[in-house]
Amino acid sequence: MSVTSPGQVAALPTAGRDPFFDNAKFLAITLVVSGHLIEDLRDVAVAHAAYFFVYVFHMPLFIVLSGYLSRNFTFSSGKARKLISTLAVPYVIFELLYSLPRLILYGKLDISLLDPYYLTWFLMSLFLWRLSTPVWQQLRWPLVVAVGLSLLSGMSRLPDELSMNRTLGLLPFYVLGLMLRPEHFEALRRPKVRIAGALTLVAGAALALAVHTSVKTEWIRWRHANDAIGVDDLTGSLIRLGMLAAGALLVAAFLAITPSRRTWYSGLGAATMYAYLLHGLVVKVAERFYGDWARTVPGVVVVAVLGVALAALLCT
């Protein structure tokens, strides 16, 4: 079984699927959609804090799940063809599609299939991570090597092509997913662990509210080298280690509170690829119509709730 993006291809049958993973993917995609919708409202402190908090772990969560569900990937002809059809083809289509809002709204037409735009970076990175799967499975200390590569990537201004900074920076989460086994997820479902997970998320949200104005947003986006963010390599490496640790902790906490039983949204969780790829088009249009009403705390809450509804709609 494999995952192709922040979700599973909808054509796969839901029978026999573990609802835990579908629940996790749907809940996570709601964070992605709502996070993108409030991104343009970050002048409101609550929106900025929520954006910061969600971005620390929402993509690491998808990457961990993708790694876990990619453990059986090989270079066999069938899986290679599926890799092309489920990642490479959608990447090309949506890279072209997302060039249209830039043309209509900003009068710019700039297409580069090697330089991912907006949401498509994840498809590019996942394609490269999936190809590397057999290599990580042969290493004795794969996570240590992945973390080392992540830290080294922050010391150089890597080219935008192939989304190299993100691909290498977030690599440890994919390798972590490859190393996980079913018993690890079973451990997260214990009552005491669930309580600890809920408390961790609450503490993380409170901490984000306290420090979100002090930490540069670029640290949670994984797009630039240390010197581009304005720090030396030692400081940058320590911050990156902290971000990796915080992301892993919050991913575990989020999975701990995720229901393991079938819910009304379990079926939607099997089709989050649609919500991920399509919601960006809605976001780009919606941002043009935010008024003063949206730049208030109640307005941010309304937009975030609309994000949940949009995610559910697109997953259908």
Q: pLDDT tens digits, residue range 284-309?
A: 888 888 888 899 999 999 999 999 99
Using 50, 70 and 90 to split pLDDT, how confident is the model at 102?
Answer: low
Could you tell me if 6 and 276 are in contact, meaning their C-beta atoms sit under 8 angstroms apart?
yes
When mean pLDDT is compared across 67-81, 147-161, 186-200, 213-227, the lowest value belongs to: 67-81
Q: Is 115 or 18 the better-scoring residue by pLDDT?
A: 18
Q: What percent of the chain has pLDDT over 70?
A: 92
Summarize the confidence of residues 25-39 as an average pLDDT: 94
Nearest-10 Cα torsion for 261, 309, 303, 288: 140
Residues 6+ apart with CB under 8 A from 88: 127
Residue 11, pLDDT score: 35
Radius of gyration of the chain (CA): 19
Could you tell me if 125 and 167 are in contact, meaning their C-beta atoms sit under 8 angstroms apart?
yes
Summarize the confidence of residues 69-73 as an average pLDDT: 86
**Residue-averaged pLDDT of the chain:** 88
Residue 16, pLDDT score: 62
Summarize the confidence of residues 156-180 as an average pLDDT: 91
**Residue 300 CB coordination number (10 Å):** 23
Can you read off the two tokens belonging to residue 165?
Answer: 């900074």
Q: Is 270 or 8 the better-scoring residue by pLDDT?
A: 270
Angle at which helices 89-97 and 99-106 cross, to 10° = 10
Query: pLDDT tens digits for 205-263?
Result: 999 999 998 989 899 999 999 999 999 999 999 999 999 999 999 999 999 999 999 99
Using 50, 70 and 90 to split pLDDT, how confident is the model at 101?
Answer: low
When mean pLDDT is compared across 48-52, 152-156, 238-242, 269-273, the lowest value belongs to: 269-273
CA-based end-to-end distance of the chain: 21
Summarize the confidence of residues 270-281 as an average pLDDT: 88
Residue 99, pLDDT score: 78
Using 50, 70 and 90 to split pLDDT, how confident is the model at 79?
Answer: confident
Whole-angstrom Cα distance, residue 130 to residue 171? Answer: 11
Residue 72, pLDDT score: 84
Residue 92, pLDDT score: 86
Whole-angstrom Cα distance, residue 241 to residue 57? Answer: 14
Using 50, 70 and 90 to split pLDDT, how confident is the model at 128?
Answer: very high
| Residue given tokens 């990619």 in the structure block | 70
